[in-house]
Homo-oligomer: A and B are copies of this chain.
């Protein structure tokens, strides 16, 4: 990125940040979130609690790690003006792209997941974060409808429809994420997505079980 090698300051900063996050996650995995204090974490990294707060802001943040990224403005732009045959597929493509952009430390990630999953308070927080992202994406989808010249519908209707797309995408993504982290995973994300879209259609549109 930068022509010069990162300064000592910068390198120390990154190292400390990583150390604190890792210590937080590992301690929580071992003793349970509630039984880990900020003092313990900072002590493990040979620094002061005050510094911990300067870096992470809260105990929660240390465990949850960096916020899941929103699609970049370029990705959003492309999605909005795209004219694929299926909104859901295009939307999922965008989200998956933005999610797989930055590589993750798989081991730490999985440890995080375990801690989060076994701590109601943290599961709660993550659900909330997802919810926020959904709200933002919802606006993006409605924007795409508008860009496509859907003039027969009111803004409210388009927003409702966007909401449905989000709800569907949510199902697909949860399904996909679950599969992705299963032990013997050996397929591409896109295959998984196609599968789960099929699943949605089956749930909803199975012609052998018509509505009413």
- Residues in chain A within 8 A of chain B (CB atoms): 85-89, 120, 123-125, 127-132, 160-161, 163-168, 170-172, 174-175, 178, 196-197, 199-205, 209-212
A86 touches B212 (CB 8 A): yes
CB-CB under 8 A from A131, the residues of chain B are 123-124, 127
Cα A211 to Cα B200 with chains together (Å): 13
Cα A201 to Cα B205 with chains together (Å): 8
CB-CB under 8 A from A128, the residues of chain B are 123-125, 127-128
- 12 examples of A-B residue contacts, CB within 8 angstroms: A85-B211, A85-B212, A86-B211, A120-B132, A127-B131, A160-B196, A161-B203, A164-B196, A168-B168, A201-B204, A201-B205, A205-B205
Give A203's nearest chain B residue, CB to CB: B164
Give A141's nearest chain B residue, CB to CB: B203
CB of A177, distance to nearest CB on chain B (Å): 11
CB of A175, distance to nearest CB on chain B (Å): 5
CB-CB under 8 A from A172, the residues of chain B are 167
CB of A125, distance to nearest CB on chain B (Å): 6
Cα A37 to Cα B2 with chains together (Å): 47
A86 touches B209 (CB 8 A): yes
Which of B171, B199, B209 interacts with A85 by CB under 8 Å?
B209
CB-CB under 8 A from A88, the residues of chain B are 203-204
**Other contacts beyond A123-B131, A164-B196: 16, CB < 8 A:** A85-B210, A86-B209, A86-B212, A88-B203, A89-B211, A123-B128, A124-B124, A124-B127, A127-B131, A128-B128, A160-B175, A160-B178, A163-B171, A168-B171, A168-B204, A205-B205
B168 touches A203 (CB 8 A): yes
Cα A132 to Cα B117 with chains together (Å): 12
CB-CB under 8 A from A130, the residues of chain B are 127
Contact (A199, B127) CB under 8 Å given A168-B204, A211-B85 = no
CB of A132, distance to nearest CB on chain B (Å): 8
B205 touches A204 (CB 8 A): yes
Cα A77 to Cα B178 with chains together (Å): 28
